[in-house]
Amino acid sequence: MLKGRSQTPNHTFERILVIRGGGLGDFVLILPVLAALRQSWPNASVELLCNPEMGEMAQQSQYAERVRSIHDAEVASFFSDHPSVPRAEYLKGFDLVISFLTDQTGCLEKNLRRHVPQVVMIPPPTRPCVHAALHFLSSLEALRICAEDYVPKLAVLPRARTAAGRLLPGLFSNHKTLPIAVHPGSGSPQKNWSTKGYSDLILWLKEDLGRVPLLVTGEADTETRRNLRQELGQTFTFEISRQPLRVLAPVLQCCSLLIGNDSGVTHLAAALGTPVLAFFGPTSPQIWRPLGERVRILGFEEASPDRVHQEILKLL
Query: Binning pLDDT at 50, 70 and 90, where does residue 103 land?
Result: very high
- The residue that leads in pLDDT, 127 or 27, is 27
**Which one-letter amino acid corresponds to residue 76?**
A
Model confidence at 235, pLDDT cuts 50, 70, 90, reads: low
Domains identified in the chain and CATH numbers:
15-143 (3.40.50.2000), 160-315 (3.40.50.2000)
Query: How far does Cα 127 stand from its chain's mean position?
Result: 21
> Among candidates 98, 96, 78, which has minimal Cα distance to 86?
78
Give the least confident one: 59-63, 83-87, 198-202, 217-221: 83-87
Give tens-digit pLDDT for 186-217. 999 999 999 999 999 999 999 999 999 999 99
Q: Phi/psi of residue 134, each to 5°?
A: -70, -40
**In the chain, % of residues over pLDDT 90:** 77
Is residue 69 packed enough to be buried (19+ CB in 10 Å), middle (13-18) or exposed (0-12)? middle
Please compute Rg for the chain using Cα positions. 21
Q: What is the pLDDT of residues 245-302, one digit of tens each?
A: 999 999 999 999 999 999 999 999 999 999 999 999 999 999 999 999 999 999 999 9
